[in-house]
Structure 1
Amino acid sequence: MANASESETLAFPILIGDIGGTNARFWILSDAKAEPQQFPNVRTADFVNIDDALAGEILPNAKQKPLSAILAIAGPIEGDEIALTNCDWVVRPKTMIADLGFKDVLVINDFEAQALAAATLAPEYREPIGPAHEAQIASRVVMGPGTGLGVAGLLRARDMWFPIPAEGGHVDLGPRSERDLQIFPHIERIEGRVAAEQILCGRGLVNLYRALCTADGIEPKFTDPADITSHGLAKSDPQATETLSLFVTYIGRYAGDLALIMMAKGGVYLAGGISQKIIPAFRWPEFRAAFEDKAPHNGLMRQIPTFVVTHPQAALSGLAAFARTPDEFGLNTAGRRWRG
C-alpha cells in the first residue's frame, strides 16, 4: 500500500466507480480535461463481484483501458478485502491489479465522495432550501437519507478541501416536543437506543410512520417508504402527511446539530435519492425552523445555507474532481491505496 507522503496523482485513464447496495455506477476519464465516458448502471445482484462486473460490462466497452481506479463504496475500508455493507460484493484491490491490469487502486467511503462533490458542485446542481445565501468557501456538511443515513464533513483549511468520513448515522436521536414524547416510545430500537438512522432513512421513515400510527391507535396502511412520501406530499393521508412533516423536522434538527459541530458556514448539503424526491417537503416551514432553532445561536444558523444535491451522479462527480485536481484536496489515502 502507498503511504500518505506519496504523490496523490493517479495515472490516466482513470476508472471511477460509485458502488452502492443495488447499483454500481462507472465513468472513465481519459485525461484531466476530457468529458467522462459514462456507462449504464450495473446491478450488483447480476454479478458475483466487482471484478466480474468490470470484466463483463465495463472494460470490453471502454474506449481506453484504464490504468487506475478510484472506487467509492458503502462500507468501512479495512484490510485487503473490503466488504460492502448492503450487498454481497467484496472489493479486492490486489486481485483487480493482478487480474484486470490496474496499476493503482484507491478505495474511499461513499460519503467522502459526496463531500468531494459538495466542494465542486455547480450551482445548477444544488437546490437552495430556505434563505438564498450564497455558499461561502468554508467548511461544509453532507448528509443523505437513503438505505441508511450517510454523513461526511468537508473541512476548508490551507486553501484545500479535506473530506472527513463519519459514521454520524449511528449517533443518538432523541425526543424534544410533546408529540415526540408520544411517538418515540414506539420507535424500533437497536440495543435500547434510537440512533438517527432508525428514523432518518428509507426504513426509518417506515419506522416513524408505524410509531406514529401506534401512538394514535391506528392500524398502519403503508409499508413502502415511497407510499408514505407520495401520500405525505399530496397530503392525502393524515398519518403519512404528519410522518413526512416530522421526518423533515428531525432532519432539520440533526442537520443543524452537524452544522454547529462543523461550524459549516459553507452550508449543509442533503444528498441521495430520498432528498431529491421530497424537495417540496423540505420547502415546508418545519425543516428550516428546526434547523435554525439552536438558541443561543439562532442568528448564526439563519446565515448557514442548506441545499438539496440534484446532480444525478454526485459521487462520481466528486471522484472526478479529485482525479482531475488531487492537489486541491487533502484526501487521506493511507491504508486505502494499492499499487502494482
Structure 2
Amino acid sequence: MLKQNDTLSFPILIGDIGGTNARFCILLDANAEPVHLTSVKTADFENIDDAIQSVILDKTSIQPVSTILAIAGPIETDEIPLTNCHWVVRPKTMLADLGLKDVIVINDFEAQALAIASLGDDNRKTIGPQNPDMMASRVVLGPGTGLGVAGLVYARNMWFPVPGEGGHVDIGPRSPRDYQVFPHLETIEGRIAGEQILCGRGLVNLYRAVCAADGVSPAFSDPADVTATGLSGENPQAKETLSLFSTYLGRLAGDLALIFMARGGVYLAGGISQKIIPALELPEFRAAFEDKAPHRALMRSIPTHVVTHPQAALAGLSTYARTPGDFGLTLDGRRWQT
C-alpha cells in the first residue's frame, strides 16, 4: 500500500459523480490541462463502469492508470452507493474490468474544499469587502440539490479538507418576520435544519411559508420559477423569499466561519449560489454574515465568495492529483490498488 501522499500514477481519470450528473476528465500528467471533459446523466447508464467505458475509454486511445472519484454518498465499504441515484461504485470491480491499477474515492464536498484552496479571482465572485487572500482555514457551503458543507484547514504547510454534515445543523427564527414565517415551514421530525431552507426544495419550502404568512396561495412549485420571479421582483413573495434565503445563508455561513475561524474566506458553491448572485450582492447576506456580536470586527475581515468555476470539483481533484503532498487527505479505507 502506497502512503497517502505518494505521487499518483498518470494518466488519471478524474470524476465528479453526483445524483443527476457525472462529470469526467483525464489528466495526462502533472503539468497538463484536463482533456476529454465529459458530462453524462447518471440515469442514462446502468452503472458507473458502463458510463466510463462508453464515454471515456471507447472514445480515446488514452488508458487511465489511476482514477480519483468524488461521490455524493457515504464511503463505508467497497460497495459505495450514491445518495440520490441508482449507481453503486465498486472499486474492486473497476480495477478488474477497466484496466485501472489505483482507485481513490472521496466525498463530493471534500472535492469542493480542495477546489477552494487555490481558486483565483477569475473563478469566483466576491460578495462584500475585497479583502486579500490569507493562507488560513476556509469553509465551503453548497446550496443545490441539498446543502453540502466542508471545511479546509491550513496547518503544517498543508491543506486538510474536513467533510461533514453541516447542512443539517439547526436553523431557528430571530427577527419578528422570522417568527411569522417559521411556523409554516415544513419540518423533519419537528426540526428545521439548514437543508430544509437552503437548497432547491428548501427554497420552495421557504416560499410556501412566506405565502402562508401573507395569506396568499403559492403560485410556483419549481425553485427556478421562485428564483426568476424573485430576481425580477414581479412576485413579492418570491422576492422576499430570496431576501430571507440570503439572510439565512449569511447567518449559517457566519456561524461556520466562526467555528472554523475561516480567515481564508467562506465560499458559496452549488448551483443556486451562482443563479442568485444579484440577490446575494444586496445588503442582507453580508449583514447577516457579519452580525455576530461580539465578533463583528472579525466577521468584517472575512471575505465571502461565490464559486463561479463551471467544474469546481473536477478542478479540486485535479489540483490534488498534481500535488498530493500539498493536502492532508486521508485515504484509509478509500483507496484500492492492484
Q: Report the TM-score when normalising by structure 1.
A: 0.98
8 A Cα contact 2:143 2:200, kept in partner: yes
Q: What's the CA shift string for 1:47-91, capped at 9, x where partnerless?
A: 011001011111112341000000001111110110001111100
Report what 1:305 is aligned to.
Answer: 303
Q: 5+ unaligned residues in a row in structure 2: which ranges?
A: none
**CA distance, structure 1, for counterparts of residue 37 and residue 115 of structure 2:** 19
Match of 1:170 among 152, 168, 171: 168
The whole-number CA distance in structure 1 between the counterparts of 2:5 and 2:337 is: 12
Q: Which residue of 1 aligns with 2:145?
A: 147
Cα separation, 1, equivalents of 2:283 and 2:292:
16
The answer to whether 1:138 aligns with 2:136 is yes
Tell me what 2:224 maps to.
Answer: 226
Tell me the SS of whatever aligns to 1:203: helix
2:242 to 229, 241, 244: 244
Whether 2:302 is the aligned partner of 1:288: answer no
Shift of 1:38: 2.8
- Secondary structure of the 2:219 match is coil
CA contact (8 A) 1:39 1:58 kept: no
Q: In the TM superposition, what are the counterparts of 1:39-188 in structure 2 within 5 Å?
A: 39-188=37-186
Distance 1:26 1:226, change over 3 A: same
Structure-1 separation of matches of 2:120 and 2:175: 38
- 1:335 is paired with a residue of what secondary structure? coil
- Residues 47 and 87 of structure 2 are in contact (CA less than 8 Å); yes or no, is this contact kept in structure 1? yes
Partner of 2:258: 260
Cα pair 1:141 1:268 within 8 Å, conserved: yes
Secondary structure, counterpart of 1:15 in structure 2: strand
Give the counterpart of 1:20 among 18, 21, 26: 18
| C-alpha distance in 2 between matches for 1:239 and 1:270 | 24
In 1, distance between residues paired with 2:326 and 2:227?
39
Match for 1:24: what amino acid? A
Shift of 1:6: 4.7
- Across the aligned residues of Structure 1 and Structure 2, the Cα RMSD in angstroms comes to 1.0
Aligned to 2:194: 196
The code of the aligned residue for 2:56 comes to I
* Counterpart-to-counterpart distance in 1, 2:266 and 2:50: 37
Match for residue 9 of structure 1 among 7, 10, 18: 7
Partner secondary structure for residue 240 of structure 2: helix
Whole-angstrom distance in 2 between the partners of 1:63 and 1:159 = 38
* Aligned ranges 1:263-282 → 2 under 5 Å: 263-282=261-280
Deviations 1:116-175 (A, max 9, x none): 000011221011000111121110000010000000000000111000011101111111
Cα contact 1:142–1:152 (8 A) shared by 2: yes
Q: TM-score normalized by structure 2?
A: 0.98
1:41 alignment partner, SS class = strand
- Give per-residue Cα distances to partners, 1:176-225, cap 9 Å, x unaligned: 11111111111111111011000000000000000111111110000000
Displacement of 1:40 in angstroms is 2.7
| Structure 1 residues 164 and 177, CA gap change in structure 2 (3 angstroms) | same
Query: Which 4+ runs in 1 deviate beyond 2 A?
Result: 5-9
**Displacement after TM superposition at 1:21 (Å):** 1.1
CA distance in structure 2 between the aligned counterparts of 1:24 and 1:119, rounded to whole angstroms = 23
SS at match of 1:120: coil
1:338 aligns with 2:318: no
1:236, distance to aligned residue in structure 2 (A): 0.9
Alignment size in residue pairs:
338
Distance (whole Å) between structure 2 residues aligned to residue 263 and residue 147 of structure 1: 27
